Structure 1
Amino acid sequence: MRRNVTQELAKWKSSVDRKPLILKGARQVGKTWLMKEFGKTYYRSYVYFNFDEEDSLSSIFETNKNPQRIIELLSLIAGEKIFPDETLIIFDEIQECPSALNALKYFKEKANEYHVIAAGSLLGTLLAQPKSYPVGMVNLLNIYPLTFDEYLDATDPALFTYYSGIEKGQQIEEFFHNRLLDSYHNYLIIGGMPECVVSWITHKDPAHISQVQRELIEVYENDFSKHNGKVNSGRILMVFRSIVAQLAKPNEKFMYGAVREGGRARDFEEAIEWLVSAGMLNRLYNVSKIEHPLAAFDKLDCFKLFVFDTGLLKCMAGIDNSAILLKTAYQFKGPLTENYVLQQLHGQFEVEPRYYSDRSGEIDFVIQHGTEVIPVEVKGGEDKSAPSFKRYIAANDPPYAVRVSERGYRKDGAITNLPLYLVRKMNQLL
């Protein structure tokens, strides 16, 4: 499968400021496959070391701090010579060996001609503690589930060719609009987890995908129970399992009392930070003003939490596939659509999206694009009604205002209507 992040990896390879690279992301988003595919495609060779499968590997890093000596020993283990600039060295599940994680700084300082890439489960939680890794000595790159365009490329290459050619202001023929909407609805069901996408390509069996999704959720929840850090694993599980109920509330704002009656911030804020750092949840902050720079107006005690993959959220909410495919107005449609939009917006803009609310209503997403701030209204169907959104536009006359819905790509006065399948191209089409 083609992954957009490969372009970032290619830039890293050729960068004069290259440092050892750490890939962050939830388990099963395709980090291992990505590293091996990158090594196979962009290098003369690659060598792969998994610290979870080979316990004895740790002793090499615990007893040696000289990267040249480490390279010699790794070459002996791999059974092949490791060439500077030509061999990609892959360290997987590196969280199992803190000495190896720390050794990355020696490669940066004394052997930067060797290209080193590392990844691991729950690595984000470790990297959230600066003492746990060589700060400033590594590059970091987030890996997410497949975005809609990647999913489309994998499942319908011909339609993806049309999709990738869509330009600003272009009229999209009804035939292609309907086909792209169908693919969008399928994506809500399948999501972007590589195993689910491969299952759909291979079997076209929705029941099998639901089974894979349930198994993945079980794997993640087992990871919480294995967590032995200072954060209580039971509280992590409680927060994770509360997300559907949190998003089902009228304003979707995260409420500690909805996790457990009488719950306070001090009870669950560490669990939330753990889940966000692990890449399991995406946090959307509320802002007090829709002004540049957005981060200056964050209300740190007011936020929403979304699941990192929309297909998994659909599974957690127990939404029947027929409700999505038959385009009925099911109860959880709004939150599921917003989860999808946030997932597609990841990485498009330098500043992560926010949302805004006051007594008169709410703006679903607020996006910083250069010095401009763009309000975005999200509709799960073709509905045009958005009183608070229209009031904001009338009062502030923003240079851009975007409504995301199932309607076609068109300009409606001051509002640009962007079909849901084009959210991934929002930056390009503004």
Structure 2
Amino acid sequence: MERFILNDLLKWKDSKYRKPLILKGVRQVGKTWILKEFGRKYYENVAYFNFDENEEYRQFFETTKDVNRILQNLVFASGQTVVPEKTLVIFDEIQECPNVINSLKYFCENASEYHVACAGSLLGIALAKPSSFPVGKVDFMDISPMTFTEFLLANGDGNLVEYLSCIENVSPIPDAFFNPLYEKMKMYFVTGGMPESVKMWTQERNTEMMQAALLNIINAYERDFGKHPDPKEFPKISLLWKSIPSQLSKENKKFIYKAAKEGARAREYEDALQWLVDAQLVRKIYRSGAPGLPISAYDDLTAFKLYLIDVGLLRRLALLAPSAFSEGNRLFAEFRGALSENYVLQALQNQFEATPRYWSVLNPSYEVDFLIQRENDIFPVEVKSEDNVESASLKKFKERFRDKVKLRIRFSLNNLKLDNDLLNIPLFMADYTDKLIGLALKHG
């Protein structure tokens, strides 16, 4: 399966400023596979060391900081070959051996001829500890679930991807492309972007196996909850995790601790929630007071929404059956469009550096689903999953911040269109948001 992150890995390989790489991402998102595939394609050989499978390797990092001696010991113990510049050295499950993380400083300073890439489960947890990694001595990269575009390629729909990538103006998509893209997107809402789930559908065309793959991933995540250093946090993490689908089904999607458990208070559950965020299982989107820069300066830290890392996992966790796929637009409208919002957020996070926010006011109630920062502009984004695409909230936002709104963006099941300052993007084009905003601003 084709993953676009390979292009970023190749840039890392060719950079004269290359440092040891830490690849972050949630469990089972394909970190190990992509590193091995990268090594297979672009290096003469790969040397792979797993510190969970081979606990004895950890000892080599305890006795010395000399990276040449460390590598020599690893080579002798494993029978693998490491040649400077020609071998990709992969350290996997490095969260099991903090000394490996610390050693990256010495690989950077004393042995830059070795190409070292690292991965691990729950790395976000390990790296959240202040002394975990040498600041400024490593490169970071994130791998997310497969995008809808990557799903299309895996599904054999390269022609649709080619068509979308060639679009150079904001005009309606012909039915010959619109209709199949709409149908494929419904299937993506069912499978999500976790590689194992995508594989079970695109290669096996087996819904039961795809359902089982998603359940296995969820079960693995829930077993990980027990790895919190304080056992008392385990039930709290579980309660918060399982409450997300019901919280997203509300009209007001702001996360409320009491909805997870009667009487729950923020201060009792903050550590549990932070664990889920650090583990990259959930995305935390703060409420913003205004479209200003820096975007973080306007955060209301008491109000936020939680989304899952992947739309397919959200559907599976919500126990929504794949049969909804065949029921018209039901999949998009299910629990107040939460699947569509989760999907759009995934696409936006892959394109814009700043984490999106949302905007809301009370009395009367208005809410704009997301605010995104593109260069030095903030754009309001609304996600519509049903036929009614009228947006009082986008209008209200423009009234309040008229001088700051160059363009309003609406994702819906309608066709691509620029209507004055309102850009309607079909949901299946969410991966192209950045490009389409650029085209709209240029021609608007």
CA contact (8 A) 1:188 1:311 kept: yes
Q: Distance in 2 between matches of 1:248 and 1:171?
A: 31
Q: Which amino acid aligns with 1:348?
A: Q
Closer, same or farther in 2 for the Cα pair 1:102/1:231, shift >3 Å?
A: farther
Q: Which amino acid aligns with 2:337?
A: G
Name the residue aligned to 2:308: 307
Name the residue aligned to 1:378: 383
1:392 aligns with 2:393: no
Name the residue aligned to 2:423: 416
Name the residue aligned to 1:183: 184
Q: Which amino acid aligns with 1:401?
A: R
Q: Distance in 2 between matches of 1:10 and 1:217?
A: 31
Alignment of structure 1 residues 264-343 onto 2, 5 Å: 264-329=265-330, 330-343=333-346
**Deviation for aligned residue 1:250:** 1.5
Which of 341, 347, 352 is the aligned partner of 1:349? 352
Which of 411, 422, 425 is the aligned partner of 1:404? 411
CA deviations 1:377-412 (Å, max 9, x no partner) are: 100133221112123235516211111001001112
Q: Distance in 1 between matches of 2:52 and 2:78?
A: 16
Name the residue aligned to 2:45: 45
Task: Give 3-state SS (helix, strand or coil) of 2:16's partner.
Answer: coil
CA deviations 1:98-126 (Å, max 9, x no partner) are: 11121111111111111111111101111
1:366 aligns with 2:367: no
Alignment of structure 1 residues 12-27 onto 2, 5 Å: 12-27=12-27
CA contact (8 A) 1:46 1:87 kept: yes
RMSD: 1.6
Q: Distance in 2 between matches of 1:96 and 1:253?
A: 36
Closer, same or farther in 2 for the Cα pair 1:91/1:27, shift >3 Å?
A: same
CA contact (8 A) 1:286 1:355 kept: yes
Task: Give 3-state SS (helix, strand or coil) of 1:189's partner.
Answer: helix
Task: Give 3-state SS (helix, strand or coil) of 1:302's partner.
Answer: strand
Q: Which amino acid aligns with 1:130?
A: P
Q: Distance in 1 between matches of 2:272 and 2:16?
A: 38
TM-score, scaled relative to structure 2: 0.93
CA deviations 1:21-58 (Å, max 9, x no partner) are: 11111110000000000111111211001111111101
CA deviations 1:135-154 (Å, max 9, x no partner) are: 22211111111011111111
Q: Distance in 1 between matches of 2:415 and 2:266?
A: 42
Task: Give 3-state SS (helix, strand or coil) of 1:131's partner.
Answer: coil
**Deviation for aligned residue 1:169:** 1.5
Q: Which amino acid aligns with 2:33?
A: W
CA deviations 1:331-361 (Å, max 9, x no partner) are: 4141111011101111311211110001240
**Deviation for aligned residue 1:365:** 0.7
CA deviations 1:245-270 (Å, max 9, x no partner) are: 21112211111111211111111111
Name the residue aligned to 1:425: 432
Question: Identity over the aligned pairs, expressed in percent?
Answer: 43
Closer, same or farther in 2 for the Cα pair 1:348/1:231, shift >3 Å?
A: farther
Q: Distance in 2 between matches of 1:368 and 1:323?
A: 34
Q: Which amino acid aligns with 2:296?
A: A
**Deviation for aligned residue 1:328:** 4.2
Task: Give 3-state SS (helix, strand or coil) of 1:132's partner.
Answer: coil
Task: Give 3-state SS (helix, strand or coil) of 1:76's partner.
Answer: helix
Q: Which amino acid aligns with 1:245?
A: S
Task: Give 3-state SS (helix, strand or coil) of 1:380's partner.
Answer: coil
CA contact (8 A) 1:383 1:405 kept: no
Structure 1 gap segments, 5+ residues each: none
CA contact (8 A) 1:224 1:237 kept: yes
**Deviation for aligned residue 1:16:** 2.1
Q: Which amino acid aligns with 1:389?
A: L
Task: Give 3-state SS (helix, strand or coil) of 1:195's partner.
Answer: helix
Q: Distance in 2 between matches of 1:347 and 1:194?
A: 17
CA contact (8 A) 2:193 2:312 kept: yes
Task: Give 3-state SS (helix, strand or coil) of 1:366's partner.
Answer: strand
**Deviation for aligned residue 1:231:** 7.0
Task: Give 3-state SS (helix, strand or coil) of 2:208's partner.
Answer: helix
CA contact (8 A) 1:355 1:365 kept: yes
Name the residue aligned to 2:133: 133
Task: Give 3-state SS (helix, strand or coil) of 2:203's partner.
Answer: helix
**Deviation for aligned residue 1:297:** 0.3
CA deviations 1:68-104 (Å, max 9, x no partner) are: 1112122223424312121110001111111112111
CA deviations 1:202-228 (Å, max 9, x no partner) are: 221222211211121111101112433
Q: Distance in 2 between matches of 1:290 and 1:180?
A: 33
Closer, same or farther in 2 for the Cα pair 1:187/1:368, shift >3 Å?
A: same
Q: Which amino acid aligns with 2:338?
A: P
1:30 aligns with 2:51: no
**Deviation for aligned residue 1:229:** 4.8
TM-score, scaled relative to structure 1: 0.96
Name the residue aligned to 2:238: 237
Q: Which amino acid aligns with 2:85?
A: D
Closer, same or farther in 2 for the Cα pair 1:220/1:414, shift >3 Å?
A: same
CA contact (8 A) 1:75 1:81 kept: yes
CA contact (8 A) 1:47 1:78 kept: no
> Greater CA deviation, 128-137 or 51-60?
128-137
Q: Distance in 2 between matches of 1:38 and 1:15?
A: 15
**Deviation for aligned residue 1:323:** 2.6
CA contact (8 A) 2:88 2:117 kept: yes
Q: Distance in 2 between matches of 1:62 and 1:420?
A: 51
Alignment of structure 1 residues 212-223 onto 2, 5 Å: 212-223=213-224
